[in-house]
Structure 1
Amino acid sequence: MSGKHYKGPEVSCCIKYFIFGFNVIFWFLGIAFLGIGLWAWNEKGVLSNISSITDLGGFDPVWLFLVVGGVMFILGFAGCIGALRENTFLLKFFSVFLGIIFFLELTAGVLAFVFKDWIKDQLYFFINNNIRAYRDDIDLQNLIDFTQEYWQCCGAFGADDWNLNIYFNCTDSNASRERCGVPFSCCTKDPAEERPILDRPEFHAPFLTFPRRCR
């Protein structure tokens, strides 16, 4: 007497390999982000001295690459292997992980709306803390410059926020040549910059802090 054989529902090959291909790309992007983050830390000597992670007073942008890369790597791996091997455990993990990320984003949006004043104060504190550490890390400096140029802003409230930085503040004891100045990312472009650089009178100036048309 032969027993009955039950087959589970078959998965469409198109869907299977579409999910597989998408997650392969996602997986390799995660590896790339992790590689960039580890390379940046190696260049800054962090990997040879882990305790130096806490030396930076402001935010280290490398953390963005490591965290985003780690999440993308885990999701990509679970989705890729789960789709290829039709592993229900990995596919469930993939779905639950995506659900958790969506839930956290939704929760963050609601909390930001409800506690917007507190969030604003924390954001200003975060920005000013990074202004103080502007010269401490080249990655942080590039991130601040990009943000100020892209959003056409200068500091959290205005250019006076740069008094928090020891290189730009206007105290009498500050011997920096950047005293009472702001980064160039705070400034508008001078029409004279369209001329060849050797024709500009400011070409021979040792450092251009003022006069500048800054926001």
Structure 2
Amino acid sequence: MFILGFAGCIGALRENTFLLKFFSVFLGIIFFLELTAGVLAFVFKDWIKDQLYFFINNNIRAYRDDIDLQNLIDFTQEYWQCCGAFGADDWNLNIYFNCTDSNASRERCGVPFSCCTKDPAEDVINTQCGYDARQKPEVDQQIVIYTKGCVPQFEKWLQDNLTIVAGIFIGIALLQVTGVPHAAVAAG
């Protein structure tokens, strides 16, 4: 991006036709790739959903292995008020949270604190709120933790904000499309 922006800026300042042609060609290629990615995302939305599910479950397995990954999962679950890829039981994939009898962890049959519903009256986060949460009946689980998965919550968020997301993409595309002809005319 730096090289592309540099070529456009210097090409316009110095009236260098080679740099302006370079700028317009690569801006056109980037626009075409973005358009292709958008069409493919729409056509293969089920495949993307499966990949998202696979990605989240792999990261659930490695939840305690990497602090950055742990923070990303916690942020995602808190922001979308979700737990796991398709539900709280996805945390059985993690060695600390699974519900097997051989698991001696205190977090057995639990979920991370980011799955817990927040009490507005509490200022301090209870990091142990998810302990034993999945041993309760589902009706009681809904009081303590989020039971919806992150994949359906992301789909819901995307549908609710589709106008905003589409507007941003159209705005970026218009900026790119208007930049290509001006650079091509100047390089002319």
Give the TM-score of the pair, scaled to structure 2: 0.61
Percent of paired sites with the same residue = 90
Indicate if the aligned counterparts of 2:129 and 2:144 stay in contact, CA closer than 8 A.
no
Distance 1:85 1:188 in 2: 59
Give the TM-score of the pair, scaled to structure 1: 0.54
Indicate if the aligned counterparts of 1:134 and 1:165 stay in contact, CA closer than 8 A.
yes
Does residue 97 (structure 1) correspond to residue 26 (structure 2)? The answer is yes
Determine which of 77, 80, 92 is the counterpart of 2:6: 77
* Structure 2 unmatched ranges of 5 or more: 134-142, 147-188
Determine which of 67, 88, 93 is the counterpart of 1:159: 88
Task: For 1:61-140, list aligned pairs within 5 A.
Answer: 72-140=1-69
C-alpha deviation, 1:125, in angstroms: 1.0
C-alpha deviation, 1:131, in angstroms: 1.4
C-alpha deviation, 1:181, in angstroms: 1.5
Task: For 1:1-215, list aligned pairs within 5 A.
Answer: 72-194=1-123, 207-210=128-131, 213-215=144-146
Answer 1 or 2: higher relative contact order, Cα 8 Å, separation at least 6. Answer: 2
SS class of match (1:181): coil
SS class of match (1:152): coil
Q: Which runs of 4+ in 1 moved over 4 A?
A: none
What do the CA deviations read for 1:43-70 (whole angstroms, capped 9, x no partner)? xxxxxxxxxxxxxxxxxxxxxxxxxxxx
CA separation of 1:172 and 1:107: change in aligned 2, threshold 3 A: same
- Point out the more displaced range, 102-111 or 83-92: 83-92
What do the CA deviations read for 1:163-204 (whole angstroms, capped 9, x no partner)? 11112111222222222221222111124414xx6xxxx98x
Distance 2:96 2:9 in 1: 50
SS class of match (1:127): helix
CA separation of 1:80 and 1:121: change in aligned 2, threshold 3 A: same
Distance 1:91 1:179 in 2: 61
Higher alpha-carbon Rg: 1
C-alpha deviation, 1:160, in angstroms: 0.9
* Structure 1 unmatched ranges of 5 or more: 1-71
Distance 1:74 1:136 in 2: 37
Distance 2:29 2:116 in 1: 42
CA separation of 1:125 and 1:76: change in aligned 2, threshold 3 A: same
Distance 2:20 2:96 in 1: 53
Indicate if the aligned counterparts of 1:145 and 1:185 stay in contact, CA closer than 8 A.
yes
Report the count of equivalent residues: 136
CA separation of 1:207 and 1:183: change in aligned 2, threshold 3 A: closer
Letter in 1 for 2:130: T
